[in-house]
Structure 1
Amino acid sequence: MKLRNILAASTAALALTTTAYADGHGPMKIGITQNNVGVDSYQTTYEKAFIAAAEANDAVETVVLDAGGDVARQIAQMEDLIQQEVDAIIIWPTNGEAVIPAVRKASQAGIPVVVTNSNIAEAGFDFVSSFSGPDNVTQGARSAEIMCDKFKDMGIENEAQVVHITGQPGYTTAIERAQGFEDRLPEVCPNVTVVDTQPGDWNREKSQQVMEAFLVKYDDIDGVYAGDDNMGVGALNAAKAAGREGIIFVGATNFAVGYEAMAAGDYWGSIYQSPVDDAEAALKTAIDILNGEELPFLNYFDTPKITQDNMGDFTKPVF
């Protein structure tokens, strides 16, 4: 479906749900079901920031849920929020395809749905009022540019070999960042070869194990791209333990551990993304929708490149 048609459908649906708030309705009841708060510090910080932003707003009442990475649990949580007749639902999808029926059910119940951080699959766009979060395809592309520029500085852009550690399979952010990286790298460094790709599931320990296997399998690895810094540092730890030096590590979502590894000169670059901005943007999007504001379907916040060369321009991440 073309984006302008999605926008028109979303705007028409919202007109039915926002009048009460414009007329001085009581507190907005906004439910959120998150992906997996315990899996990494980004999601933990996001939840804390979301709760703090909601508590600071007297016009908002929230129901905060966590799916724990379980699709079935998230679908049940969506059902529960619909039964509670919340005014809006924010979902951080565990799986961009599997949650579509639940999102559709909320939409059919007249409840606007905001997707946060990682979008659902395009087949579900008709049932979403707005997406709030980063442009993950652009992030992947920027990571490819960071890596290519470094290879050119080193003079190995015509021979470098790269391994790729992705996030959770089926998870939209993982898919989009991988797509952005894999599409952009051949454009900027056509002779660089991606020799292997394996999932790290956003988990540092698993990514370390994936990298250990890569190091056994490949004698020559010049670069590692990881879908976030948590996984990237796991890969870095494996390389350190194996005594393999000179590998260029590039990630996305600059975690504190990534920032520290960059400061130590072990990790080259990443993409700067704030979970606080992410959480506050999602809540604001839901509030604006309920207040009848006209919003674009895709609400991106900027996520710039960060490397050892410019990291002094950025504060250390809090997660």
Structure 2
Amino acid sequence: MKFKTSLATAVATASLVLSGGAAAMTIGITQNNVGVDSYQTTYDKAFTEAARANPNIDAVVLDAGGDVARQIAQVEDLIQQGVDAIIIWPTNGEAVVPAVRKAKRAGIPVIVTNSNISKAGFDFISAFSGPDNVTQGKRSAEIMCDKFKSMGIASTAKVVHITGQPGYTTATERAEGFENRLPEVCPQVTVIDTQPGDWNREKSQQVMEAFLVKYDNIDGVYAGDDNMGVGALNAAKAAGRDGIIFVGATNFAVGYEAMAAGEYWGSIYQSPVDDAKAALQTAVDVLNGKDVPFLNYFDTPKITQDNMSNYTKPVF
């Protein structure tokens, strides 16, 4: 294992080169923001380990640190290096499209991982590997509706919605799935407010604090991931507001623990290890000429207090 500096980036960015001997293929990955949450940290570790374990892969592992300009520069650097394939976890689904188009024109297949790029870029990628985020949002709406029905409040419940980072495809798709599905299954439930939590627990806690001051009656909270959902839960606990149903997505360890404590109702089970391995395998399959689905989804089932014993506690 050795380190080198990616000189074409706008700022100094370390790239980890994992060499498995005489590599048959060189695969570069530029990730969104490894340090922002435990999901992305675990994904990074799993990807690195999977690449290292394959003697036919030479992997160039990069992190954009949430900076779209840096990520664009990283894609351009990988093109200049002449890698065989590029995997991108987009910092912004629209802004990276021109860089992805450059890779396509250079004859380098691009696999998008975890969060898709905008549809304007679909012609320039070989496949998307990751969760179906719209379906996740729909399933979260179903979890919440079912709980309201069991409580007898499906005709009166009021919900607040904490979304992920604006402009980020995962946030947009989960919000779309939730907002479209909830009125289908619980037409009398009202979403009274929506604000971004930017995938950040502390910011989401502040958003929830403002909701609690503004609204005397909140029956449910939907958060785009459990990290934000637990931030909202912490705000409610501090304010002494009991009886609120919390539903998230991407079941983090903190969400699982809150479910076990009876404080957090449900989420969507998603493994960053599966996510990382699926992205790498998709790139390998594309390079080997295999028939790969354009939207290569892995399943993300519902998890609630009722069935959580069927799932192991997340490692992230």
Fold equivalence (TM over 0.5): yes
100, 108, 132: which one aligns with 1:111: 108
Partners of 2:31 and 2:88 within 8 A in 1: yes
User: Does residue 1:310 correspond to 2:307, yes or no?
Assistant: yes
2:31 to 24, 30, 34: 34
Quote the Cα distance in structure 1 between the aligned partners of 2:77 and 2:165: 25
Q: Which residue of 1 aligns with 2:249?
A: 252
Runs of 4+ in 1 over 3 A off after TM superposition: none
2:59 counterpart letter in structure 1: T
Aligned partner letter, 2:29: I
> Which of 54, 64, 74 is the equivalent residue of 1:67?
64
CA offset digits 1:36-93 (Å, max 9, x no partner): 1111000000000000000000000100001111110100101111111100000000
The one-letter amino acid of 1:193's match is T
Report the counterpart of residue 219 of structure 2 in structure 1.
222
Tell me, in whole angstroms, the C-alpha distance in 1 between the residues paired with 2:224 and 2:265. 14
2:271 and 2:56 map into 1 onto residues whose CA distance is 25
The alpha-carbon deviation at position 135 of structure 1 amounts to: 0.3
**C-alpha distance in 2, partners of 1:161/1:26?**
56
What letter corresponds to residue 29 of structure 1 in structure 2? T
Q: Distance in 2 between matches of 1:166 and 1:302?
A: 22
Distance, in Å, in 1 between the alignment partners of 2:138 and 2:288 is 35
> Which letter does structure 1 place at the counterpart of 2:171?
A
Aligned-residue identity in percent? 84
Q: Which has the higher contact order (CA 8 A, sep 6+)?
A: 1
Q: Who is 2:263 aligned against?
A: 266
Cα distance in 2 for residues equivalent to 1:200 and 1:220: 20
Once residues 231 and 31 of structure 2 are traced to their aligned partners in structure 1, the CA distance between those partners, rounded to angstroms, is 24
Matches within 5 A, 1:1-319: 26-319=23-316
Could you tell me how far apart the structure 1 residues matched to 2:160 and 2:32 are? 27
User: How many residues align structurally?
Assistant: 295
- The root-mean-square deviation of aligned C-alpha atoms, in Å, is 0.7
Decide which structure has greater helix share: 1
Q: Could you tell me how far apart the structure 2 residues matched to 1:93 and 1:256 are?
A: 24
Aligned equivalents of 2:36, 2:214: Cα separation in 1: 28
Instruction: Provide the rounded CA distance (Å) in 1 between the counterparts of 2:200 and 2:82.
Output: 35
| TM-score normalised by structure 2 residue count | 0.93
Q: Separation in 1 of the partners of 2:142 and 2:39?
A: 24
How big is each residue's C-alpha offset from its partner over 1:112-138, in whole Å with a ceiling of 9 and x where there is no partner? 000000000000000000000000000
CA drift at 1:27: 2.3
Contact 2:23 2:55 in 1 (8 A): no
* Structure 1 alignment gaps of length 5 or more: 1-24
Structure 2: runs of 5 or more not aligned: 1-21
Partner Cα separation in structure 2 for residue 131 and residue 255 of structure 1: 23
Shift of the alpha carbon at 1:294?
1.1
User: TM-score, structure 1 length as denominator?
Assistant: 0.92
Q: Structure 1: how far apart are the matches of 2:70 and 2:254?
A: 30
For 1:70 and 1:118, locate their aligned partners in 2 and report how far apart those are by CA, in whole Å.
15
What amino acid does structure 2 have at the position aligned with 1:239? A
SS at match of 1:38: coil
The amino acid that maps onto 2:183 is P
Q: Secondary structure at the match of 1:212?
A: helix
Matching residue of 1:5? none
